[in-house]
Amino acid sequence: MDLETDILIIGGGSAGCMAAIVAKEQNPNVDVLIIEKGEIHRSGSIAMGMDALNIVVQPGKASSETYVESARIAAGGILDPKLSYVLAENSFSMLKRLEDWGVRFPRNDDGEYITLQVHAKGAFMVEMDAPDLKVILAQKVEEVGVRVINRVIITNLLVSKRRVTGAIGFNYRTGEFTVCSAKATILANGGCARFSLPNSGYLYGIFDYPGNAGDGYSMAFRAGAKLTGFECPQSSPLIKDFNCPLLYITLTRGAEVINAFGDKIVLEYLSTQTMLKELHEGRGPIFIKMNHLPEEKIQDIERILFTTERPTQKKFWEGRGIDFREGMIELGETEFQLCGGHGITGILVNEKAETSLKNLYAVGDVASVPMQHLSGAFVFGEIAGKNAATLVRKTQRQELDKSFIKAEEKRIFKMFDEKGEGTDITPTELEYKVRRMISDYVVPPKNERKLQEALWWIQRFRNDLKTIKAKDYHELSRLEEVRFILDCAELSTTASLERKESRWGWFHYRTDYPEQDDKNWLSRIILEKDGESGEIKVALQPVDNRGL
C-alpha cells in the first residue's frame, strides 16, 4: 500500500492524538494521517482513562520555576530545564482545553481544582475523573477529519540527507507492505516497556503498555537522530503480581507504606527510591496500609482503581480475598523500562518538539522530557502539531529512496515462512531469552564486566534473529519488536558503560563506581549512529543547573 500525507503521526496514543487534533485545528486543509500499531480507541499507555493530570501549574497557586526545580531533583540534575519550563507554562491551558472537550476535573467545596502533592516541591497534580479519556481523544481525532490506519507496525523511517520523508512497515494481520510519504513526521509511539523481565516471567505482564517495545527509539537511532538518557532504566514498587498503578492514588489520599517489621516508611515526598531501598536492603516485603482511612476515602480509592485504572483489579483482589479495610497490599518491584514519561530516556528534542533530524518531531514517552507524564504528552503533542502544520505549508514533497524501500521489504519478509511452519525457536522464546539477558546484565546493579557481557549477547541474539522464521504476520511483527528491544539494550548498555558513576539511586548503580560524581558527570550522554560504521557514537553534553 502506497500512501501520501502532509503530516504522518506514528502512534495514536495521547501524544499522537493531541498532535493530530491540533495540526488540523491549525490548518484544516492539511492532511494528517495516524498509523497506529494497535487500535486507536484503546491504545497507548493510558489505553482507557486517567485519574489525574500529573503536572499543572495553576496561576496564583504555583510557579513554573518551582516545577522546574522539582523536575531537576527528580531527574538527578540531568535535564534540559527549558523543556520542563515550557511544559509547566503550557500545562494549565492544556487542562482548560481538555475541560472544553468534556474531561471532568473535580473541584472542592471552595470551587478549586483538587490538587495533590507528589513532587519534591510544590503541588502540581490535579485530580481528573476521566475513565474514558482515550475514547474522547479518538473521537476528537475522527471529528476533526484525521485519517487513521490501525494494526500497522512501522519498521523504519525514510530519510534523505538527514531529512525524514516518511516511513515504512506492514499490517500484521494481512501482511500488506506499507510505504508512506510525508512532508513532516511525528514520532509518538512510546518508550520501551518490554525491556527486562517481570518477576512473573510473563512477557506482557508489565506496568506500562505492552505494545511499546522501543520502536521509536530504534527507528530514530537507525535514521540518525540523537538520543539521551538510556543509562537510566526505571522500575517502580507496585502491586505484587499485578503491576498496576497504585502509589499516587493511595498515598495522596492518606495511605501509608510499612515494611516487614511493621515500621512506617517515612516519605519526604512520593519517592519510589525510598521504597525500593527497603526492598533492596532486606526489609521487605513492603505493604500499602489503608485500614486507618475513613470509609469515604477507601471508596474513592476503589472507584479509581476499579474503573479508571484497570477494572480487572477488582476481580484480582476478590480472588486474593483482600479487603482494603482490613488487609494490606503487598508491593513488589516491577520490571525495568526505558521511558521519557516516567523517566528521562528518549529522543533528544528542543522546545519545539524538533529532533536533530529535519522534519521529524518526537512527543510523549518516546521523547526525552524528564518525568513529563501525561501532561507532557499533551503539551508537546500540541506544540508538535502546531509546528508541523506550519512547516508543511512551505515544504515540498521529496522523492523516496526506492532502493532502501525494496531492501527493507526484502529484509522483513525474508523472516516469513510462507508454509506457515516457522522454526523450532519461536519469537516468544527469543524475546524471553533477550529480556532475561537484559535482566541479568543491563539493569542495576551494574559494572563493566556485566555490561561487556551484555554487548556480547546482543550481537549473538542479532545473529540468531537472522535465522528465525515467523509462521504468520503477527509473529513477524514480534520479530521486529525483538529487533527494537535489542537496539534499546545496546543503547542502554553503551550509555551505562560511559557514565562512570552512580546516579538516580538504584536506577544507575554501578558497583565499580558507587558514588555520584557531579564534578565529572553532570552531563547528558548523547547517543547517535555513526554514518560510516553504523556503530553508536557517544558524546557528553554538560547541563546548566544555575537557572532556566
Among candidates 276, 300, 297, 271, which has minimal Cα distance to 286? 276
The strand pair at 147-149 and 32-35 is best described as parallel
Q: What angle do CA 473, 434, 12 make, to 5 degrees?
A: 50
CATH class held by domain 237-333: alpha beta
Q: Where are the alpha helices (DSSP H) in 176-243?
A: 215-223
Tell me the C-alpha distance between 75 and 272, whole Å: 13
Sequence-separated (6 or more) residues with CB below 8 Å from residue 543: 77, 78, 79, 80, 522, 523, 524
Residue 299 is which amino acid? Q
Side-chain-side CA neighbours of residue 384 (13 Å) = 36
Q: CA end-to-end span of the chain, whole Å?
A: 46
What are 314's three cell numbers? 477488582
H, E, C per residue of 295-344: HHHHHHHHHHHHHHHCCHHHHHHHHHCCCCCCCCEEEEECCCEECCCCCC
Domain boundaries, the chain: 237-333, 408-517
Tell me: pLDDT of 163 over 90: yes
Tens-place pLDDT, residues 321-350: 999 999 899 999 999 999 999 999 999 999
Q: What's the pTM value of the predicted model, to 2 decimals?
A: 0.96
Q: Which three cell numbers stand for residue 329?
A: 497490599
Lowest mean pLDDT among 40-44, 94-98, 351-355: 40-44
With cell 520502536, the residue in question is 215
CB 289 within 8 A of CB 257: yes
Report the percent of the chain where pLDDT is more than 90. 85
| Residue in this structure with the C-alpha cell 476521566, named with its chain if needed | 130
**Which cell numbers hold the place of 298?**
477507601
CA atoms of 12 and 39, how far apart (whole Å): 8
Looking at residue 402, its pLDDT comes to 94
Task: Please say whether the structural domain 408-517 has been given the CATH code 3.40.50.300.
Answer: no
Task: Please name which of 4, 17, 2, 1 lies closest in space to residue 377, comparing C-alpha atoms.
Answer: 17
Q: pLDDT tens digit string along 415-459?
A: 998 888 888 899 999 999 999 999 999 999 999 999 999 999 999
pLDDT at 438: 98
At 89 the three-state DSSP class reads helix
Distances (CA, A) of 97 to 16, 18, 28, 157, 255: 16, 11, 18, 32, 32
Contact 405, 168 (CB under 8 A): yes
| Of the candidates 128, 130, 147, the residue with the CA atom closest to the CA atom of residue 52 | 128
Mean pLDDT of the chain: 94
The SS3 of residue 121 is coil
Cell digits of residue 400: 523516496
φ, ψ for residue 168, nearest 5 deg: -135, 155
Q: Is the pLDDT of residue 243 over 80?
A: no
Please tell me the distance from the alpha carbon of residue 512 to that of residue 257, in angstroms, as a whole number.
Answer: 32
- In 3D space, the residue among 459, 465, 460 whose CA is nearest the CA of residue 414 turns out to be 465
Nearest CA to 18 among 128, 131, 133, 125? 133
Q: What is the pLDDT of residue 548?
A: 63
pLDDT tens digit string along 31-60? Answer: 999 999 999 999 999 888 898 999 999 999
Q: What is the pLDDT of residues 518-536, one digit of tens each?
A: 999 999 999 999 988 999 9
Res. 271 pLDDT band, cuts 50 70 90: confident
Is the confidence at residue 546, as pLDDT, over 70? no
Whether 408-517 and 237-333 are alike in CATH topology: the answer is no
Q: Which residues pair with 139 in a beta bridge?
A: none
- Give how far Cα 464 sits from Cα of 9, 411, 437, 458, Å: 32, 15, 14, 10
Average pLDDT over residues 176-189: 98
